[in-house]
Amino acid sequence: MGSEEISTSLCEDIPNLLSSFVDTFVDFSVSGGLFLPPPPPPPPLPTRLPSPPRLVAIGDLHGDLEKSKEALRLAGLIDVADRYTGGSATVVQIGDVLDRGGDELKILYFLEKLKREAARRGGRIITMNGNHEIMNVEGDFRFATLPGVEEFRVWWEWFEIGNKMKTLCHGLENPKDPMEGIPSSFRGVREEFHDGFRARVAALRPNGPIAKRFLSQNVTVLVVGDSIFVHGGLLPQHTSYGLEKINEEVRDWVNGSTGRFSPDYCRGADGLVWVRKFSRGDEKECDCSALEHVLSTVPGVKRMVMGHTIQTVGINGVCDDKAIRIDVGLSKGCGDGLPEVLEISGSSGLRILTGNPLYQNKGNVDVGKEQGLGEHGGPRQVEVKA
């Protein structure tokens, strides 16, 4: 290839190089200084995965980046410099990154960074939809905080700058305006927050830049080995409908293919991101026979792992550890609980890794079959709306 051909090829590539540079510039500005590693080829949306040597499950994060990092460090998944150190572990974050805190975008970016680092080290981080992800994509911001609205306003400022920079290059099409069709004011919202609300709608509505980029990677139900993960709970109508079908339809909705509202099975008290049938109260209040029926409809599954309902006693299990509840109310905006994560491994079974100082001198709390996950004085849930 001659020098003239190289020059022509380089000139043809300049628009794409500029676009990539602008996207990196916006990411760095919004995320608080993260440079994301180059993305690996996107894996297919998982629904069923084999049992890994080490499986870690993390509950609701609700916009609290520092407490999220505490939980990740507790599990040995990141070091003091926030780099991934989990090796070949499979990590499941069970949803509800959004609402109740002011670091929602920063957590989304941070988890994306860890996903890319983990993939290069033989590990895998899987994020799930909680009811708050579904609510926000539908435009229900009842539980967004003022810092959370401001975070999206700042995102929009940088995103708009990036779009304007792209229009300066004649080789690029003018980017679509994400604000198209969004009202300039909102009834019941103070005027100074209108810009933040508009930005939040633009970012998170179906096919919005943040929804498409981050939330479309989420699964809604997941089987890993002999455990099934869901934010709220599964009922017989969900398993009979089809787990793969649920994941595909929710992803298509987030990507803007099917209108404003989520599928019916994500909505209402029996929606699989809303169900509290197995996470509220102690074992006497849990319908263990119904749980066993649901588990029997998914071959090879022994337990259901869920978030959604805060467990003030920490991670616990009922129904002979067939229902494992891992939402410890970690976020400062939603309980400020002590960090805890669940570890599942073939060699040691179920184990709670806890930040509770009562147990720190004894090492991790080992919860084998004889003791059970429920042996913490009985679960006492905090009822939290939505």
Q: Is 324 inside any structural domain? A: yes
What pLDDT score was predicted for residue 153?
96
Mean pLDDT of 351-378: 54
CA geometry: angle at 103 spanning 97 and 107, to 5°?
Answer: 55
Q: What is the DSSP letter of 346?
A: T
From residue 307, alpha-carbon distances to 231, 289, 310 in Å are: 5, 20, 8
What pLDDT score was predicted for residue 295?
97
Q: What is the DSSP letter of 192?
A: G
What pLDDT score was predicted for residue 281?
79
From residue 94, alpha-carbon distances to 59, 83, 183, 189, 285 in Å are: 5, 21, 33, 31, 23
Q: Beta strand pairing status for 316-318 and 323-325?
A: antiparallel
Q: Is 180 inside any structural domain? A: no
What pLDDT score was predicted for residue 174?
77
> Considering the chain, what is the average pLDDT of its residues?
87
Q: Beta strand pairing status for 90-93 and 124-127?
A: parallel
pLDDT tens per residue across span 279-311:
987 777 888 999 999 999 999 999 999 999 999
Task: Spell out a b/e string for 344-367, using b for 16 or more CB atoms within 10 Å of the CB, else e.
Answer: bbeeeebbbbbbbeebeeeeebeb
Q: What is the DSSP letter of 127?
A: E
**What is the spatial distance between Cα 123 and Cα 107, in angstroms, rounded to a whole number?**
19
Q: Which has more pLDDT, 372 or 136?
A: 136
Domains held by the chain: number: 1
Q: Is 31 inside any structural domain? A: no
Q: Is 219 inside any structural domain? A: yes
pLDDT tens per residue across span 120-138:
999 999 999 999 999 999 9
Provide the pLDDT confidence category of residue 12 given band limits of 50, 70 and 90.
low
What pLDDT score was predicted for residue 378?
37
Q: Is 170 inside any structural domain? A: no
Number of H helices, E strands in the chain: 11, 14
Q: Does residue 251 surpass a pLDDT of 80? A: yes
Q: By three-state DSSP, how is residue 322 classified?
A: coil
CA 56 to chain centre: 14
The fraction of the chain above a pLDDT of 90, given in percent, is: 65
Q: From start to end of the chain, where are the E strands?
A: 48-49, 55-58, 90-93, 124-127, 221-224, 227-230, 303-306, 310-311, 316-318, 323-325, 340-345, 349-354, 365-366, 381-382
What single letter denotes the amino acid at residue 182? I
Q: Is 292 inside any structural domain? A: yes
Q: Which of these is catalytic: 62, 132, 231, 308?
A: 132
Mean pLDDT of 176-204: 88
Residue 1: both structure tokens together: 């290839």
Provide the pLDDT confidence category of residue 2 given band limits of 50, 70 and 90.
low
Mean pLDDT of 222-228: 96
Indicate which CATH number applies to the domain containing 216.
3.60.21.10
Sheet holding 365-366, edge to edge: 124-127, 90-93, 55-58, 340-345, 349-354, 365-366
Domain range for residue 231?
41-141+205-355
Q: Is 194 inside any structural domain? A: no
Q: Which residues partner with 318 through β-bridges? A: 323
Residues contacting 26, CB < 8 A, separation 6+? 158, 159, 161, 162
What single letter denotes the amino acid at residue 183? P
Mean pLDDT of 70-88: 96
Residue in this structure with the two tokens 């609205």, named with its chain if needed: 149
Catalytic, 308? Answer no
pLDDT tens per residue across span 327-356:
999 999 999 999 999 999 876 689 999 887
Task: Spell out a b/e string for 126-160, using b for 16 or more CB atoms within 10 Å of the CB, else e.
Answer: bbbbbbbbbbbbbeebebbbeebbebbbebbebbb
The fraction of the chain above a pLDDT of 70, given in percent, is: 88
| Predicted structure pTM score | 0.88
pLDDT tens per residue across span 128-164:
999 999 999 999 999 999 999 999 999 999 999 988 8
CA 357 to chain centre: 27
Q: Is 157 inside any structural domain? A: no
Mean pLDDT of 249-261: 93
Residue 175: both structure tokens together: 């980017």
Q: Beta strand pairing status for 221-224 and 227-230?
A: antiparallel
Residue 2: both structure tokens together: 């001659």
Q: Does residue 11 surpass a pLDDT of 70? A: no
What pLDDT score was predicted for residue 45?
85
Lowest mean pLDDT among 64-68, 86-90, 101-105, 186-190: 186-190
